[in-house]
Structure 1
Amino acid sequence: MTPARRATGSGGRLGRVARAGLAGVTGAGVSALAQFLLVVIVTRTFSAEQAGTFFTAVALALMVAGIAKLDAGNGLIFFVARAKTYDYRGISGYVRAAVTPGALLSTAAGVVLYPLLGPLALALPLMVVADILLAATRGFGSMRTTVLLDGMLLPVAQLVLVAVVAAAALPYPQEALAGAWAAPYLVVAALAALSLRRRVPRTPYLPGTARDLWRHTAPRSAASAIQALFQRLDIVIVALLAGPAQAAIYTAATRFKVVGQLASQGLAQAAQPRLVRALAEGDLPRARELYQVTTMWLVLLTWPVWLGYALLAPWLLRIFGTGYDEALPVALVLAGTMMVATACGMVDVVLISAGHTSASLANLVAAVAVTVLLDLALIPAHGALGAAMGWSGGVLVKNLLPLWQIHQRYGLRPFGRHSLTALRFRSWATA
């Protein structure tokens, strides 16, 4: 291949990643804004205790759903992306093998937790099934369904329904808030199923399909459960150790972290199938290019947000209502930590794409252990700030460990000669 053709091929590949990543980040932006406005509406309409109780219930529901899905979605992405070479033969069997355990487990969890979560418990199976089906559509190389349904429809519908409940001033707001937040999952799950049905070819069920899927996914199932704990456990611990009012303050102050998480998720969803193929084929130069370019995009997209948040936090926190400005130290810890995490890039995605799911699991266990230990030590005395410090310690472990591992195994670094290439985003986005 001539240098010109090689450059053209590289530009074309990155152009596709750029367009898919841009779509994912656009959806992430809409979702982040809708979630932020939802928190503002709840904190300004209800007391800190009521808001904290609602946020804690939502965090618990998301945590349970994250455990129950067993990371089957990422397993499907792995097999769908690899099956492109064989015209997606047997993919329908993989979809069934991925959906069934998560649907059964989340249904059982919903029955057990209904007295505690109410309408949120009923939504658990819908949350799990929707997530798995949307992941399967990304395995085909398309971000459209995920962006439209998960990035836009779901958060906007939740915002609208929660706003209606807040305006109605109902006598029992907790149940109404939970129902308003949960209801859109029914629509998202149904539309995701319809979208996937149009993509999946009708092929015979291949023997060993479920065994192959879960042999690959099982280590990540445990890792996914721990990741779900890592993402949501801090709010629950704050509510238990410092009360729902501190949980509301912590949720409000850390609401901006969803910007970085969703931006990273949007790019990861676009790049992961391509990373899987590159590493499966032993194409390290291509994997290095994808990793470094997406890392630079993450920095360019999110660092201005974190710097702006750190500078404007004294005024931004007042948006949530009286008393929330005491969370300024939490905001500063959040901004600094997310800048470090973003600079590491999609380290865990690279590790998983290379097939090192057990190493990813060990890293998450270490991150959760650090978070819980720091939370237990710091929250009783420092409330929301203690939780932020515990979360920060876990995030640093979660990013720095896999960064060291992929460098040791593959010589990959988040920045290098391909980082400057990311600045030619405009030309690739139209390639």
Structure 2
Amino acid sequence: MASLTTTRLATLATLSGLTGAARGGVAGLAGAGAGAAAQFLTAVVVTRGVGQETAGLFFSGTALCLAVAAVLRLDAGNGLVHFIARSRSLDHRHTSGYVRAALVPVAALSLAAGAAVVLTTSDPVLRVLAVALPAVACSGVVVSATRGFGSMRPTVLLDGVLQPVAQSLLVGAVVLAGRDSVPLLAAAWALPYLPVLLLASIWLRRRLPRSPRMPGTARDLWRHTWPRSLAAGIQAVFQRLDVVIVALLAGPAEAAVYTAATRFKIVGQLAGQGLAQATQPRLVRALAGGDLPRARELYQSATLWLVLLTWPIWLGYAALAPWLLGAVFGDGYTGGAPVAFVLAATMMLATACGMADVVLTSAGHTGSSLANLVAAVATAVTLDLLLIPSAGSLGAALGWAGGTVVKNLLPLWRIHRLYGLRPFGTHSLAALNLRRAP
């Protein structure tokens, strides 16, 4: 499904005459699609190869590791993209200083956090993932930094292909060897982050100028990045925490069912990511220039395409879920059908809102976007704590759905109040004319 969505988006980009930057976004999306397919395969291998308890412990442990790593990255990767691209056009001598300023605190924090976990817990799974935490955190920053040089190749090849494919192969090897061991599965999952970090560092090192540390680079980088660090950390919690809460409150078996039933979320996320990459620069220009008619056209066109690309997938998933979950993940996962229904209905509502948050941030209202995200996380966690003890994975799905609804409706209300923008209108049908750029 991910590859189908990627193909449709690539076709749309070609027919719409997108700019080179947007085509780069589609290239990144192609890598993300390949990675998503490999991640899905990993989930299938685990659910079919080991018991539900083992699968749930593996999924919750890796979800926790990814959430902590995303928080510890401090969104330094996106900050580096901005400053490396800018310094290349102004004063390239600052580039090395920006990279050091970003990596040193991320490496220090992740090493400290990993050491604290190793010293304070005897859980072998957490200790394995704690040892891997610095590589998981730093590899994301280094791979992001390569995009500051205008190249998507390291992101596509390393983050989109090498890492998830190697994870799938190594985890599959552990399962085929008959080793029903969560620490071994966690080690196999974590190991590919090391070559990704090494190869991305070599690529980056060859392009960095050999220059002394320039004063002010760290101050400039973090003054720009720290508000985004907070938002990125909250977003990471929103994306990953539900699996961990299910494991804690309802047990690892329920966490395995919930993870399997929600694996299809990546399909809608890929479609939204591709359209956002193609549309956001134009939205920024339109809103900065006060061109509300153009912003309205872009928003409504993108919303229609998002609905056309994803609604057939969600309707099909809801209809086939009782059969599909058992056929793909195994008989023990058919109980996840109610979770699939909630997921499909919520994603259809979310896509009907369009890229409301992208419009809000493009207009410069980053503070409102952060407040909306905090409200969404608070809603999801509150509902999780209330519903998971009695409803298990379905309670987690309802909690996630509540947070997602808040995350989409609040920015939708805000942009309508400020700019009179609606996701559907006179430009929706016009978007079907592919001879015009969206």
TM-score (normalizing by structure 2): 0.85
Distance in 2 between the 1:178 and 1:227 partners? 23
Residues 1:48 and 1:255: Cα distance change in structure 2 (over 3 Å): same
Task: Determine whether 1:174 maps to 2:182.
Answer: yes
Equivalent of 1:278 in 276, 285, 292: 285
Show the counterpart of 1:27: 31
In structure 2, the partner of 1:156 is 165
Alpha-carbon separation, structure 2, partners of 1:96 and 1:340: 42
Partners of 1:279 and 1:354 within 8 A in 2: no
Give the counterpart of 1:183 among 173, 177, 191.
191
The one-character-per-residue Cα deviations of 1:165-212 (angstroms, maximum 9, x if unpaired) are 000012x61111011100111111122223334555556654332222
* Aligned twin of 2:5: none
- Residue in 2 that maps onto 1:3: none
1:332 aligns with 2:341: yes
Alpha carbons 2:18, 2:278 under 8 Å: kept? no
- The alpha carbon displacement at 1:112 in A equals 1.9
Asked if 1:232 is matched to 2:237, the reply is no
> Which amino acid letter does the alignment assign opposite residue 203 of structure 2?
S
Bigger relative contact order, structure 1 or 2 (CA pairs below 8 A, ≥6 apart):
1
Alpha-carbon distance between aligned partners in 2 of 1:163 and 1:266, rounded to the nearest angstrom: 30
| 8 Å Cα contact 2:36/2:266 also seen in 1 | yes
2:156 counterpart SS class: helix
> SS of 1:118's equivalent?
helix
Q: Are 1:255 and 2:263 an aligned pair?
A: yes
Once residues 46 and 212 of structure 2 are traced to their aligned partners in structure 1, the CA distance between those partners, rounded to angstroms, is 49
Aligned to 1:105: 109
Of 48-57 and 69-78, deviating more is: 69-78
**In the alignment, residue 389 of structure 1 is paired with which amino acid?**
L
Cα contact 1:25–1:267 (8 A) shared by 2: no
Q: Among 58, 64, 69, which residue is 2:68 paired with?
A: 64
- Matches of 2:134 and 2:185, distance apart in 1: 19
Amino acid at match of 1:144: R
Does residue 145 of the first structure (1) align with residue 159 of the second (2)?
no
Q: CA deviation at 1:270?
A: 5.9
Paired letter, 2:375: A
Q: Distance in 2 between matches of 1:84 and 1:388?
A: 45
What letter corresponds to residue 144 of structure 2 in structure 1? A
Identity %: 63
Q: Would you say the 8 A contact 1:119–1:178 is kept in 2?
A: yes
Gap change, CA 1:106 and 1:54, over 3 Å in 2: same
Q: Is the 8 A contact 2:53 2:256 kept in 1?
A: yes
Select 2:321's aligned residue among 301, 313, 316: 313
- Change in CA separation of 1:159 and 1:217 when aligned onto 2, cut-off 3 Å: same
Q: Is contact 1:28-1:259 (8 Å) kept? A: no
Aligned Cα RMSD in Å? 3.0
In the alignment, which residue of structure 1 is the partner of 2:413? 404
Letter in 2 for 1:342: T
Question: Alignment partner for residue 254 of structure 2, among 241, 246, 250?
Answer: 246
Is the contact between residue 31 and residue 156 of structure 2 (CA under 8 Å) also seen in structure 1? yes
CA shift for structure 1 position 262: 3.4
Shift of 1:12: 9.0
Q: 2:49 — aligned with what?
A: 45
What SS does the corresponding residue of 1:107 show, helix, strand or coil? helix
Distance in 2, Cα, partners of 1:196 & 1:414: 41
Distance 1:139 1:417, change over 3 A: farther
Partner of 2:219: 211
Higher alpha-carbon deviation: 56-65 or 210-219: 210-219
Q: 1:365 aligns with which of 354, 365, 374?
A: 374
How far apart are residue 352 of structure 1 and its match?
4.1
Between 203-212 and 319-328, report the one with greater CA deviation.
Answer: 203-212
Name the aligned partner's letter for residue 272 of structure 2: S
1:8-33 CA-partner distances (Å, limit 9, x unpaired):
xxx99723254223323322322222
Q: 1:128 to 1:355 in 2, by over 3 A?
A: farther
Rounded to whole Å, the distance in 2 between the matches of 1:201 and 1:270 is 31
Quick one: distance in 2 between partners of 1:55 and 1:68? 20
SS in 2 for 1:90: helix
Aligned amino acid, residue 112 of structure 2: A
Tell me how far apart the structure 2 counterparts of residues 88 and 392 of structure 1 sit (CA, whole Å).
46
TM-score w.r.t. structure 1 length? 0.86
For 1:407 and 1:14, locate their aligned partners in 2 and report how far apart those are by CA, in whole Å. Answer: 27
1:326-364 superposed Cα distances (whole Å, 9 cap, x missing partner): 111110110111122223344434444554433222111
Larger displacement relative to structure 2 (261-270 or 63-72): 261-270
Aligned length: 417
Deviations 1:297-316 (A, max 9, x none): 43343222212211211111
| Runs of at least 5 residues in structure 1 that lack an aligned partner in the other structure | 1-10
Per-residue deviation, 1:260: 1.8
Residue 248 of structure 1, CA deviation: 0.6
SS at match of 1:323: helix
How does 1:83-122 map onto structure 2 within 5 Å? 83=87, 86=90, 90-114=94-118, 115=121, 116=123, 117-122=126-131
Q: 1:195–1:67: structure 2 CA closer, same or farther, 3 Å change rule?
A: same
